[in-house]
Amino acid sequence: MNPYLEIIRPNICFLAVLGLIVGLLLEKIPLNLWLLPILVVFLITASGNVINDYFDYNIDKINKPERPLPSGRISRKNALVLYGLLSFSGLVASVWISFNFFLLALFNSGLVFLYSKKLKKTPLGNGADSWLACSVFIAPIFIQNKIVLYSPTTVLAAIAFLGNYGREVLKDVEDIKGDKIHNARTLPILLGSLKATIIGKTIILVASFLLFLPYILGFFSELYLIFSFILFLFSLWIIRIKDAKKVQKMLKILMFLVIISFLVSLFY
């Protein structure tokens, strides 16, 4: 893969866009208003992936030396320029959507920079990253310049927050070697790998139980109930895996399948 394409992690950008589309459908946003929000979410997510790799340069030399920056396929200077272009373009595009949407994009852009530079090395980083992951579901609410505390999109966002939080804790377990060398203070370093793994898997289990909530609340039909049951069993299998790296891969697949189940259920 081209290193500039690889560093933006298009699979993560695509996942974020899918989450946004779920929210757009649930909030009944007209199709002609979809293009700019999709572009903004893609650009802001891509910029976050780039700046994250920029600040993780030294840690990735140990944990992920094959990544574009530590492998030398992209210079840190060029990565910083790419981040600036992506972030600026996303913020400019968000201005044309709505004022509240612009504020959300601005807040998330600032948070992703702060997360990448400082918060990621602390226990607060998991919460910041999980907010960024779940905010795509509620972004359509901001398109309409309104604030809603309870809706189908906020329920899905809560599930996404917990699922991503658990995954991030387990990701910290996987990265503990490089994090220790660079004096990070993640949960696995503060509590130990075993306790952090138990916490991460417990949170994922709670999020898996909550997958039934959209059906119970009447957001989706019986088809979603079938999906949620299958995904729940899949999550039970995942949390039994001991290898942290394999758990990471399986959780990414699970998150993708959960969003797909949301999308399919909206049409049946």
What are the residue ranges spanned by the domains of the chain?
A: 3-265
pLDDT of 234? 94
Tell whether the model's pLDDT for residue 216 goes beyond 90: yes
Packing angle between helix 152-174 and helix 244-265, nearest 10 degrees? 170
Check residue 179 and give its pLDDT.
75
For the cut 80, the answer to whether the pLDDT of residue 253 exceeds it is yes
pLDDT band at 129 (very low <50, low <70, confident <90, very high): very high
pLDDT band, residue 246 (cuts 50/70/90): confident
Per-residue pLDDT band at 257 (split at 50, 70, 90): very high
pLDDT band of residue 186 (cuts 50, 70, 90) is confident
Determine the pLDDT at residue 178.
Answer: 75
SS (H, E, C) 152-183: HHHHHHHHHHHHHHHHHHHHHHHCHHHHHHCC
Asked whether the predicted pLDDT for residue 92 surpasses 90, the reply is yes
Fold of 3-265: Tetracycline Repressor; domain 2 (1.10.357)
Tell me which of 19-23, 96-100, 215-219, 241-245 is least confident: 241-245
pLDDT, tens digit (0-9, with 9 covering 90-100), for 4-56: 999 999 999 999 999 999 999 998 999 999 999 999 999 999 999 999 999 98
More confident residue, 237 or 247: 237
HEC string for the chain: CCHHHHHCCHHHHHHHHHHHHHHHHHCCCCHHHCHHHHHHHHHHHHHHHHHHHHHCHHHHHHHCCCCCCCCCCCCHHHHHHHHHHHHHHHHHHHHCCCHHHHHHHHHHHHHHHHHHHCHHHCCHHHHHHHHHHHHHHHHHHHHCCCCCCCCHHHHHHHHHHHHHHHHHHHHHHHCHHHHHHCCCCCHHHHHCHHHHHHHHHHHHHHHHHHCCHHHHCCCCCHHHHHHHHHHHHHHHHHCCCCCHHHHHHHHHHHHHHHHHHHHHHCCC
pLDDT value of residue 224:
93
- Name the percent of the chain lying above pLDDT 70: 99
Q: Indicate if the pLDDT at residue 183 is higher than 80.
A: no
Structure-token pair, residue 243: 């290898």
Q: Which residues contact 244 (CB under 8 A, 6 or more apart)?
A: 170, 171, 173, 174, 197
Q: pLDDT digits over 140-181, tens only?
A: 999 887 767 778 899 999 999 999 999 999 888 887 877 787
**Are 103 and 122 spatial neighbours (Cβ–Cβ below 8 Å)?**
no
